[in-house]
């Protein structure tokens, strides 16, 4: 077998203080930090028709494979409209590659299998499938938001298969270069421009992580503020800035209404419950209790064509490193 190589790009975003200024004020939240946590398994309520989504676990892969790795979601409609849409964009961009799926969350894989009878490969199963099908050139493109704990875990797991393929490369997460941040910032601005009326706070809820890469949220906030979008606010459900930070900033901003949207690839459990749910500790309830008229938008970043295109660009960069 030829000498193998793994190409991976990792960028630790610089630590920047978030400038949570909005409809007329300039506020600074506490420093980033906080625990990481995986999404809880979703309940057995209706999340859409699972049969409309392609799990992309077929064999007969061929010699070239593009494995799209996601955390995953058991919300069937969101999975199809986000992860599925990204995978479809990959198929259209790279007709010489067989596009396959791998999820990192075994909880979600097991939940979908139990509830819907749909089998989705975890990363190890997807890599084993590639080996068994005689893949020679493997490109792995994660749909992770940042270079965090899961991205590093993916690199370590792929390294265990370095002797199984002639060539292997791993693409970058969504938010890596300054150009990536600029593209994502413009994408979320374009996606919410109908709400930007001068008196509405547009709040994005990210997941958050204990890794240093949690600073991506502060960096994106700073870029929005410096670009004049002072009614845009970014927080996290598991780290910092927290819901309390975002609520305090909105209260000081002079905004009268609030729009909530996930800063996540999918609109899954966190978006439906922690953000838009009716529970006492949800973002929606917290803002309503504070007197705001709240609109929730349950659309993941993966639905945005600009985000899909950015992942395609990262996959192309990974391919370009292969001989």
Catalytic residue positions, numbered: 207
Residue 147: which of 177, 111, 112 has the closest Cα?
177
Tokens coding 197: 């009326």
Q: How far apart are CA 50 and CA 79, in angstroms?
A: 9
How many of the other CB atoms lie within 10 Å of CB of 15?
12
Bridge partners for 293 per DSSP: 257
Q: How far apart are CA 74 and CA 38, in angstroms?
A: 13
Strands 167-170 and 200-206: unpaired
Tokens coding 128: 């084993």
H-helix or E-strand spanning residue 29: none
CB-count burial class (<10 Å; 0-12, 13-18, 19+) for 318: buried
Q: How far apart are CA 57 and CA 101, in angstroms?
A: 6
Tokens coding 304: 């945005």
How many of the other CB atoms lie within 10 Å of CB of 77?
18
- Collapsing DSSP to helix, strand or coil, 117 comes out as coil
- Collapsing DSSP to helix, strand or coil, 135 comes out as coil
Q: How far apart are CA 76 and CA 312, in angstroms?
A: 23
- Collapsing DSSP to helix, strand or coil, 209 comes out as coil
Tokens coding 4: 């193998």
DSSP states of 231-244: TEEEEESSSSS-HH
């Amino acid at each position: 077998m030829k000498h193998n190589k793994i190409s991976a790009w990792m960028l630790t975003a610089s630590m920047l203080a978030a400038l949570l200024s909005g409809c007329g004020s300039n506020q600074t939240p506490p420093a980033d930090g906080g625990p990481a946590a995986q999404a809880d398994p979703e309940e057995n309520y209706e999340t859409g028709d699972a049969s409309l989504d392609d799990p992309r676990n077929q064999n007969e892969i061929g010699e070239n494979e593009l494995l799209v790795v996601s955390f995953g979601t058991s919300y069937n409609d969101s999975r199809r409209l986000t992860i599925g849409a990204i995978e479809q964009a990959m198929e259209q961009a790279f007709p010489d590659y067989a596009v396959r799926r791998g999820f990192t969350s075994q909880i979600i894989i097991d939940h979908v299998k139990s509830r819907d009878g749909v089998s989705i490969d975890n990363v190890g199963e997807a890599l084993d499938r590639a080996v068994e099908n005689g893949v020679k050139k493997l490109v792995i493109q994660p749909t992770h938001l940042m270079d965090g704990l899961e991205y590093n875990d993916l690199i370590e797991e792929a390294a265990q298969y370095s002797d199984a393929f002639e060539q292997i490369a791993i693409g970058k997460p969504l938010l890596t270069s300054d150009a990536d941040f600029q593209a994502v910032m413009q994408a979320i601005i374009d996606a919410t421009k109908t709400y930007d009326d001068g008196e509405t706070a547009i709040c994005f809820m990210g997941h958050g992580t204990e890794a240093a890469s949690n600073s991506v949220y502060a960096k994106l906030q700073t870029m929005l503020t410096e670009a004049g979008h002072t009614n845009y606010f970014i927080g996290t459900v598991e780290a910092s800035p927290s819901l309390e930070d975002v609520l305090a900033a909105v209260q000081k901003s002079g905004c009268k209404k609030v729009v909530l949207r996930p800063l996540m690839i999918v609109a899954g459990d966190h978006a439906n419950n922690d953000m838009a749910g009716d529970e006492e500790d949800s973002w929606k309830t917290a803002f309503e209790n504070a007197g705001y008229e709240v609109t929730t938008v349950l659309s993941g970043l993966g639905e945005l064509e600009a985000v899909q295109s950015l992942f395609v660009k990262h996959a192309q960069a990974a391919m370009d490193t292969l001989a």
